[in-house]
Amino acid sequence: MSTADLATARTGRVLLGAFAVATAADLGALLAGWHLGHVIAKPLLMPLLVAYVVTRRAPRLLVAALLFGWCGDLALLFDADPAFLIGMGSFAAGHVCYLVLFGRGRTSPALGGAYALALVGTVALLWGDLPADLRIPVAGYSLLLTAMAYRSSALGRTAGIGGALFLLSDTLIATGVADWPQLPRPDFWIMATYLAAQYLLAAGALTPVRAYRREVIQD
């Protein structure tokens, strides 16, 4: 490994560590009910993860997906319906990037059936409790999100778990919008599952890149 490669790897470890610190700060602020701490930490999260994956020569679609996630994060800092719709649109664009990134790799039909049942059941249960003007957008977004979660398994178990956690995180948001009973500190659980999802999706997307490089070096 060259000196430049060593320096890049070292920078990547520092950035990943910074992402971990920012994640701990954000989740700690949510647990403590310190809104200002959340407002400060949340905008740092996806840029740090993006910077890390860039040092790993991540696919552009992964970088784009994470940046769209960042835009969604910023929008959801504002408690208003237009901001919610903007955030949902940003995350939807990120899911499209992920779907293209996942390509046509094999996935389990049984898993697809389970996700389809989860989608239909969740939308049916939430439908009557959602604000009327959000029902169609939420249903459309849920379809795209579920497709992303299902197709994420094409990159392996790590990405597959990340996709499932993303679905769980956004389902928790939807139950809040529907005014269902919530867990204590619901924002903590939403962010914890979301951040784990984005990291695992990124890690899963980087694994094929590393495997390809090993093959090239061996050849």
pLDDT surpasses 50 at 211: no
Q: Where are the alpha helices (DSSP H) in 33-59?
A: 35-55
Mean pLDDT of 131-155: 96
In the structure encoding, which two tokens stand for residue 46, read together?
């996806």
Q: How many CA atoms, within 13 angstroms, populate the side-chain half-sphere of residue 183?
A: 11
Q: How confident is the model at residue 216 (pLDDT cuts 50, 70, 90)?
A: very low
Q: How confident is the model at residue 90 (pLDDT cuts 50, 70, 90)?
A: very high
Other Cβ atoms within 10 Å of 138 Cβ, number: 24
Rounded Cα–Cα distance for residues 67 and 132 (Å): 30
Q: pLDDT tens, 22-43?
A: 999 999 999 999 999 999 999 9
Question: Rounded to the nearest 10 degrees, how much is the dihedral formed by the CA atoms of 8, 41, 175, 112?
Answer: 0
pLDDT surpasses 60 at 3: yes
Other Cβ atoms within 10 Å of 51 Cβ, number: 18
In the structure encoding, which two tokens stand for residue 100, read together?
């293209």
In a 3-state reduction of DSSP, which class is residue 130? coil
Rounded Cα–Cα distance for residues 200 and 204 (Å): 6
Q: pLDDT tens, 59-81?
A: 999 999 999 999 999 999 998 88
Question: Rounded to the nearest 10 degrees, how much is the dihedral formed by the CA atoms of 125, 131, 136, 141?
Answer: -70
pLDDT surpasses 80 at 209: no
Q: What is the pLDDT of residue 4?
A: 76
Using alpha carbons, list the distances in angstroms from residue 139 to 88, 126, 130, 178: 11, 9, 10, 13
